[in-house]
Every structure is written in structure tokens, then in C-alpha cells.
């Protein structure tokens, strides 16, 4: 646990000790409500924090859990513990039903869709009077009972709520430990990269959404047995706003932020109650100050003030299958002898032609340089091959198999890795973990050990425990290439790998890339720097306005009249070499 997180939890524990030791029954009741919101906020962190999707349905999931437990208690006499599977299960089923039509949406579209569905559930609760009591709700709900034993109001009830919070916090921390937490960090910061390194973003978002609903349902079950009444108010938008405020103030990531944020948000109105008519003004000013001054929440601010201690030593270098298995790949090529076959690939964006029927081939152990003016379609070609963009026409075959339109994570698992034109690393992750997260089908400890070998291969093993956000551009490039190699690729696609590197760094990178090709990997390198690319490539190809205008040896392509004209904008006869 980070020092900042421990400090926040210690402050919450100290306030809790005060509430138990000297607080009135009312104080304990408010502290219990804070715990309920903390549990719901921990769940909200899965979808809003870890997955990075702004859902506006967490309050409704909490309300549905409350209704399920309250109705079962009144109509069937089920206690809190007996009704809990239903209180959790019904919101989970609702989340699964909601996920089908809306989870593929992004940004504000997803937020609006979840808000609309939430309002629909609220209308059902108001109109279905026979089941829910309509606008008046349902009263007379019993308190919490566990194994038939009632939990008394006061400190026993507050203790029960906070034990549930502790269990939820422990479960959340366990679920997000190691590989899972790092995978969600990549998905949150760079969704395209997540697919490119083999992560199924859709499945991950679904898991986060379902987990958020389960935690909210648990919190709703506690809520209805603490408050003892249930009404449509618990489904209302103010509950959602409260949960959103909690995670924004406390922090989107880490249970410490959810717990501290809940206590602060729920308790603040009580602390400023003596101000009477100025209470809301002071409350709003404090919230605004926290959001503006500490956009990372209390956790983010404290992590700046209390940096973590020096990281542990990286694992020892280990033999890496990612390198050992790069040999003998020619046998895995298709019937034509080509590892990659691109046939008539076309892609339009509206009325703009990005690719106009491009055909290329690449053999194992070969380096193909791809050049062309800006906007010529080079990156679009790579995006089509790697599944980030679906082509409008044409086919892509890899090792004899048709992978046209295959999802990005499946393309990655097939043996194709890539880097991006703009280096896409998670700033808060260490170099070692940034590479290890791409190691497929292995435990994370083994992945980290193998990642050290890859970092050593790229000459950056000495920075394994540094965070990516503090690295120079050239080092970030090497880390990104190491991450691509962690997929054990048979084909590596590099988008401007020499950009931003000095001559010494370019020469070193070129030597290392030639070593990868010698091991059997096929490389397709997009690059504008001809001084770097020409000595590296076995063959070159040139795109212009989405059309392949030349291919051959580096000397042949550089001397081609159409290539010279496309780059220099003048007749080839003026500058064509003798």
C-alpha cells in the first residue's frame, strides 16, 4: 500500500474511533451512512476509475439493491443476509442487460445512455405501485439481521457496516492487484494500445461494470436496513451526484480515496450545520477548491506530498521465450512463402481515400521500410493490419490465415505487434510493468522476469524500476518496442521508431532492430528519416495518397521518379540521381 493511501485510511480510522468513543447515536448513524456510500463508491471506482468510463447508473444500481432487499424483507420475511444474494444479483443482471446496448459507446455517449436507463428505472419504481409503493415508497423495514440475530442500532450497527466496507475494500484491492490493475491502467489511458498488446477491452469494461453494480447492490442492501424505509429518492440523480463527488474528491483509483471521500462528503454538511443558511455555500466552495486544486483527489495530492519509498530491485534476467521463439519462423509462412500478405486493401474516411487498393508482402526475417508523405495512408495501413481499423475492401493474410477485420487483441495474440507514432505509455507505471503487462498467458511474476530480458535486449534494463512519465523520449521509444516484443511477435510493425532520436541513438536502435530480424522476426518500419531507414531495410515501399507507387530495394525506391516527385514536389528529372 502506498504511503498516501495508508495516511488517508489512518485519518478515517481516527475519526471512526472518535465516533465510536464519544459520538451520539446520531453521529454513529451518519457514520454508518458514510460507510454505505464508501462501499458504493469503491464499486464505482471499477467502471469510472479503473475502466475510465463515466457511468451515471451507479446510484440506480444501489437503489435497485435497496428495493430488492426491502421488498424481500417485507413480503417474504427474508433477513439482510438471506436477501443479500438477490440484492447483489438483481443489479448485476440489470448491468448485464444495460451492457448489451450501451457498453460499446464511448465518452459522453456512454454517460448519457446510462443516465437515460437510470431514469427509466426510476419511472418504473414510481409507477409500479403494487410492488414498490410508488412515489410514497415502503416503510417498516426491519434492521440488519445476520443468522437470525438482529444487530442493534448504535455502535453494533456502525461496526457491522464498516466491517462490510473493509471486506469490500479488501476484495477490490485483491481484484486490482498485479496484472489486472496494470491492464486497466493501459485500457484507461490508451484504449488503442490495450487492444494492440492483446487486452480484450470490451470484456474488461464489462467486468468493471458488473463489479460496480454488485458493490452498489451490496451498499443498497445495507442502506435500506439502516434507514428502514425505501423510496424512489434512493434511485434519484442526487445519489449519483453524491457518488460522483465522492470519487472525484477522494480519488478515482484506490479504496483509500473512496473511503476518505465518502466520510468527507457525508460528514461535511454535519460539520457546517451551525452555519445554517451558509452551509451549502461553504460546502460547495470546499468541493470546488478540492476539484480545482487537486484534480487527482485527496489521494493524488497526498501522493505528491508523500512519495513512495524506493522501489524494490528488479527481478534477475531470465531466458525469454519472446526471443527464443523468434527462430525458424519461415516455416510458419503462408503457401506463397510470405508471412504477411496484403491484397487490395482499401479504406475511406467519409469522402477521403486513405487507402486505394494497396498490395504488399513481407517474409520472415525481412525488414520492409514504408515511406510516403504525411497523409499518404501509412498509419492507416498498419491500423488495418492490426485490427484497429476495419478495411472497406481487400484481404490481410498472416501465416496463411485470413485476419481481415479481426479484433485488435486477437491480431496481437496471432503474433503481430506494433508501436505507435506517438509513444503511448502509462506515465505512472514502471518500465518493467509496462513491458510485463504484454506478456501473454503467464503469471505476472514470471512475466516481470522475462520482461527484464527484453529490456536488456533493448539496452534499458537499468531503468526497469523508473516510472515511464519521467523518461526521455528516446528511452520511451525503446520501452515501447520492448513491450511490443513481449507479445512474442512474428511480425513487428514500427511507426516512426527513430523520431526524436539523435544520431547515436538511431544507430544503436538500427543495430538492435537488425538483430531482431536476424532472429527471424519480420519488421515493417514506417519512417521519414531516410538516413536511418535505408541502411536498415531490405526492401522499401512508397505510398502516396493511399496508392502504392513504388517498391523494391532502397536504392531502387529512392531513385524512382514518382517517389522523388511525391516527396520533393518537382519533376524527377531535376533531382534524379545519375
Q: How far apart are CA 469 and CA 562, in angstroms?
A: 42
Q: Kindly state whether residue 439 falls inside one of the protein's structural domains.
A: no
Q: Kindly state whether residue 536 falls inside one of the protein's structural domains.
A: yes
Q: Give the least confident one: 9-23, 156-170, 318-332.
A: 318-332
Instruction: Quote the domain boundaries for residue 535.
Output: 322-427+490-575
Closest CA to 161 of 49, 16, 46: 16
Q: How far apart are CA 542 and CA 563, in angstroms?
A: 7
Segment 551-575 shows an average pLDDT of 75
pLDDT computed for residue 100 by the predictor: 85
Q: Are 189 and 426 in contact (CB under 8 A)?
A: yes
Query: Over 70: is that where the pLDDT of 332 sits?
Result: no
- What's 417's domain CATH number? 3.40.50.300
Segment 526-558, tens digit of pLDDT: 998 999 999 999 999 999 989 999 999 999 998
Segment 104-148, tens digit of pLDDT: 887 788 999 999 999 999 999 999 988 888 888 888 898 898 988
Q: Give the least confident one: 99-108, 384-393, 407-416.
A: 99-108
Q: What are phi and psi of 360, to 5 degrees?
A: -145, 160
Q: Kindly state whether residue 558 falls inside one of the protein's structural domains.
A: yes
Query: Over 60: is that where the pLDDT of 578 sits?
Result: no
Based on the domain organization, do 123 and 247 belong to the same domain?
Answer: yes
pLDDT band at 96 (very low <50, low <70, confident <90, very high): very high
For 518, counting Cβ atoms within 10 Å of its Cβ (0-12 exposed, 13-18 middle, 19+ buried), the class is exposed
Q: Kindly state whether residue 422 falls inside one of the protein's structural domains.
A: yes
Based on the domain organization, do 109 and 249 belong to the same domain?
Answer: yes
Q: What is the mean pLDDT of the chain?
A: 88
**Could you tell me which residue, 148 or 523, shows the higher pLDDT?**
523
Q: Kindly state whether residue 383 falls inside one of the protein's structural domains.
A: yes
Query: Over 90: is that where the pLDDT of 333 sits?
Result: no
Compute the half-sphere exposure of residue 492: CA atoms within 13 Å on the CB side of its CA.
Answer: 31
Based on the domain organization, do 55 and 142 belong to the same domain?
Answer: yes
Q: What is the 3 state secondary structure string of 235-287?
A: HCHHHHHHHHHHHHHHCCCCHHHHHHHHHHHHHHHHHCHHHHHHHHHHHHHHH
Query: Over 70: is that where the pLDDT of 469 sits?
Result: yes
pLDDT computed for residue 254 by the predictor: 87
Query: Over 60: is that where the pLDDT of 321 sits?
Result: no
Q: Are 525 and 369 in contact (CB under 8 A)?
A: yes
Segment 192-218, tens digit of pLDDT: 999 999 999 999 999 999 999 999 999
Based on the domain organization, do 124 and 236 belong to the same domain?
Answer: yes
pLDDT band at 323 (very low <50, low <70, confident <90, very high): very low
Q: Kindly state whether residue 450 falls inside one of the protein's structural domains.
A: no
Of 255, 272, 305, at which residue does a domain stop? 305
Based on the domain organization, do 109 and 42 belong to the same domain?
Answer: yes
Q: How many residues are given for the chain?
A: 578
Based on the domain organization, do 85 and 167 belong to the same domain?
Answer: yes
Angle between helices 25-44 and 3-22 (to 10 degrees): 150
Q: Which residue has the cell 544503436?
A: 508
pLDDT computed for residue 329 by the predictor: 39
Segment 485-503 shows an average pLDDT of 91
Q: Are 60 and 121 in contact (CB under 8 A)?
A: yes
Provide the sign of the torsion angle of the four alpha carbons 247, 194, 506, 542, taken in this order.
negative
Q: Give the least confident one: 316-330, 365-379, 451-465, 491-505.
A: 316-330
Express as a percent the part of the chain with pLDDT over 70: 92
Give CA 291 to chain center in angstroms.
Answer: 22
Q: Residue 448, by phi and psi: left (phi above 0), alpha (psi -120 to 50) or beta?
A: alpha
Give CA 317 to chain center in angstroms.
Answer: 28
Segment 371-378 shows an average pLDDT of 90
pLDDT band at 572 (very low <50, low <70, confident <90, very high): very low
Q: Are 414 and 334 in contact (CB under 8 A)?
A: no
Q: Kindly state whether residue 195 falls inside one of the protein's structural domains.
A: yes
Q: Could you tell me which residues are beta bridge partners of residue 149?
A: 146
Segment 362-379 shows an average pLDDT of 92
Based on the domain organization, do 27 and 133 belong to the same domain?
Answer: yes
Q: How far apart are CA 299 and CA 9, in angstroms?
A: 10
pLDDT computed for residue 318 by the predictor: 57
Based on the domain organization, do 496 and 420 belong to the same domain?
Answer: yes
Segment 477-495 shows an average pLDDT of 93
Based on the domain organization, do 282 and 384 belong to the same domain?
Answer: no
pLDDT computed for residue 576 by the predictor: 36
The grid coordinates of residue 535 equal: 541502411
pLDDT band at 565 (very low <50, low <70, confident <90, very high): confident
Angle at 213 between CA 212 and CA 215, to 5 degrees: 65
Q: Are 77 and 283 in contact (CB under 8 A)?
A: no
Q: Kindly state whether residue 312 falls inside one of the protein's structural domains.
A: no
Angle at 410 between CA 408 and CA 415, to 5 degrees: 100
pLDDT band at 482 (very low <50, low <70, confident <90, very high): very high
Based on the domain organization, do 51 and 12 belong to the same domain?
Answer: yes
pLDDT computed for residue 102 by the predictor: 86
Domains in the chain, number: 2
Express as a percent the part of the chain with pLDDT over 90: 59
Q: How far apart are CA 412 and CA 439, in angstroms?
A: 11
DSSP string, 114-172: HHHHHHHHHHHHHH-HHHH-GGG-B------EETTEEPPTTHHHHHHHHHHHHHHHHHH
pLDDT computed for residue 538 by the predictor: 94
Closest CA to 217 of 430, 43, 469, 334: 43
pLDDT computed for residue 328 by the predictor: 37
Q: How far apart are CA 502 and CA 474, in angstroms?
A: 8
**Could you tell me which residue, 297 or 227, shows the higher pLDDT?**
227
Q: How far apart are CA 283 and CA 459, in angstroms?
A: 53
Q: Are 155 and 20 in contact (CB under 8 A)?
A: yes
Segment 270-297, tens digit of pLDDT: 777 776 677 667 767 777 877 787 778 8
Residues 6+ apart with CB under 8 A from 523: 366, 367, 368, 491, 492, 493, 494, 513, 516, 517
The grid coordinates of residue 474 equal: 528516446
Based on the domain organization, do 520 and 558 belong to the same domain?
Answer: yes
Give CA 140 to chain center in angstroms.
Answer: 43
pLDDT band at 569 (very low <50, low <70, confident <90, very high): low
Based on the domain organization, do 14 and 147 belong to the same domain?
Answer: yes
**Could you tell me which residue, 283 or 26, shows the higher pLDDT?**
26
- What's 102's domain CATH number? 1.10.3470
Segment 253-282 shows an average pLDDT of 82
Coil, strand, or helix at residue 340? strand
For 144, counting Cβ atoms within 10 Å of its Cβ (0-12 exposed, 13-18 middle, 19+ buried), the class is buried
How many CB atoms sit inside 10 A of residue 115's CB?
18
Amino acid at each position: 500500500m502506498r504511503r498516501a493511501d495508508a495516511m488517508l485510511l489512518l485519518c478515517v480510522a481516527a475519526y471512526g474511533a472518535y465516533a465510536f468513543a464519544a459520538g451520539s447515536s446520531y453521529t454513529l448513524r451518519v457514520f454508518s451512512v458514510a460507510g454505505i456510500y464508501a462501499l458504493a463508491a469503491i464499486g464505482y471506482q471499477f467502471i469510472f476509475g479503473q475502466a475510465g468510463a463515466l457511468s451515471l447508473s451507479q446510484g440506480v444500481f444501489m437503489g435497485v439493491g435497496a428495493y430488492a432487499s426491502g421488498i424481500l424483507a417485507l413480503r417474504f420475511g427474508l433477513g439482510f443476509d438471506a436477501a443479500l444474494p438477490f440484492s447483489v444479483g438483481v443489479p448485476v443482471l440489470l448491468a448485464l442487460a444495460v451492457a448489451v446496448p450501451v457498453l460499446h459507446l464511448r465518452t459522453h455517449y456512454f454517460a448519457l445512455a446510462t443516465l437515460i436507463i437510470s431514469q427509466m428505472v426510476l419511472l418504473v419504481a414510481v409507477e409500479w405501485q403494487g410492488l414498490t409503493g410508488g412515489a410514497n415508497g415502503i416503510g417498516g423495514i426491519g434492521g440488519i439481521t445476520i443468522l437470525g440475530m438482529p444487530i442493534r442500532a448504535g455502535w453494533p450497527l456502525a461496526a457491522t457496516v464498516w466491517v462490510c466496507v473493509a471486506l469490500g475494500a479488501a476484495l477490490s484491492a485483491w481484484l486490482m492487484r498485479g496484472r489486472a490493475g496494470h491492464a486497466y491502467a493501459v485500457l484507461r489511458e490508451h484504449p488503442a494500445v490495450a487492444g494492440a498488446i492483446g487486452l480484450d477491452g470490451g470484456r474488461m469494461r464489462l467486468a468493471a461494470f458488473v463489479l460496480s453494480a454488485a458493490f452498489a447492490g451490496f451498499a443498497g442492501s445495507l442502506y435500506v436496513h439502516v434507514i428502514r424505509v425505501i423510496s424512489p429518492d434512493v434511485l434519484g440523480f442526487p445519489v449519483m451526484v453524491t457518488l460522483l463527488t465522492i470519487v472525484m474528491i477522494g480519488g478515482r483509483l484506490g479504496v483509500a480515496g473512496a473511503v476518505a471521500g465518502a466520510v468527507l462528503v457525508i460528514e461535511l454538511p454535519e460539520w457546517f450545520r451551525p452555519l445554517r443558511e451558509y452551509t451549502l455555500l461553504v460546502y460547495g466552495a470546499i468541493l470546488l477548491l478540492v476539484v480545482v486544486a487537486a484534480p487527482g483527489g485527496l489521494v493524488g495530492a497526498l501522493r505528491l506530498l508523500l512519495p513512495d519509498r524506493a522501489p524494490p530491485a528488479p527481478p534477475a534476467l531470465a531466458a525469454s521465450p519472446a526471443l527464443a521463439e523468434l527462430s525458424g519462423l519461415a516455416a510458419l509462412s503462408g503457401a506463397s512463402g510470405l508471412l504477411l500478405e496484403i491484397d487490395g486493401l482499401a479504406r475511406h474516411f467519409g469522402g477521403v481515400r486513405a487507402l486505394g487498393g494497396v498490395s504488399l508482402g513481407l517474409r520472415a526475417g525481412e525488414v520492409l521500410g514504408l515511406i510516403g508523405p504525411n497523409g499518404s495512408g501509412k498509419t492507416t495501413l498498419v491500423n488495418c493490419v492490426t485490427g484497429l481499423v476495419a478495411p472497406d475492401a481487400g484481404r490481410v493474410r498472416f501465416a496463411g490465415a485470413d485476419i481481415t477485420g479481426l479484433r485488435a487483441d486477437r491480431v496481437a495474440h496471432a503474433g503481430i505487434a506494433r508501436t505507435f507514432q506517438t509513444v503511448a505509455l502509462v506515465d505512472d507505471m514502471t518500465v518493467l510493468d509496462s513491458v510485463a503487462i504484454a506478456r501473454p498467458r503467464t503469471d505476472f511474476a514470471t512475466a516481470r522476469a522475462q520482461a527484464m530480458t527484453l529490456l536488456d535486449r533493448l539496452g534499458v534494463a537499468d531503468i526497469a524500476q523508473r516510472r515511464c512519465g519521467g523518461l526521455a523520449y528516446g528511452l520511451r521509444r525503446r520501452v515501447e518496442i520492448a513491450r511490443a516484443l513481449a507479445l512474442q511477435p512474428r511480425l513487428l510493425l514500427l511507426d516512426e521508431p527513430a523520431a526524436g532520436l539523435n544520431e547515436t541513438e538511431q544507430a544503436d536502435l538500427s543495430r538492435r532492430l537488425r538483430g531482431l530480424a536476424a532472429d527471424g522476426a519480420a519488421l515493417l518500419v514506417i519512417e521519414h528519416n531516410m538516413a536511418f531507414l535505408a541502411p536498415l531495410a531490405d526492401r522499401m515501399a512508397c505510398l502516396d495518397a493511399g496508392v502504392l507507387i513504388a517498391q523494391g530495394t532502397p536504392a531502387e525506391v529512392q531513385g524512382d521518379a514518382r517517389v522523388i516527385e511525391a516527396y520533393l514536389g518537382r519533376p524527377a528529372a531535376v533531382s534524379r540521381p545519375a
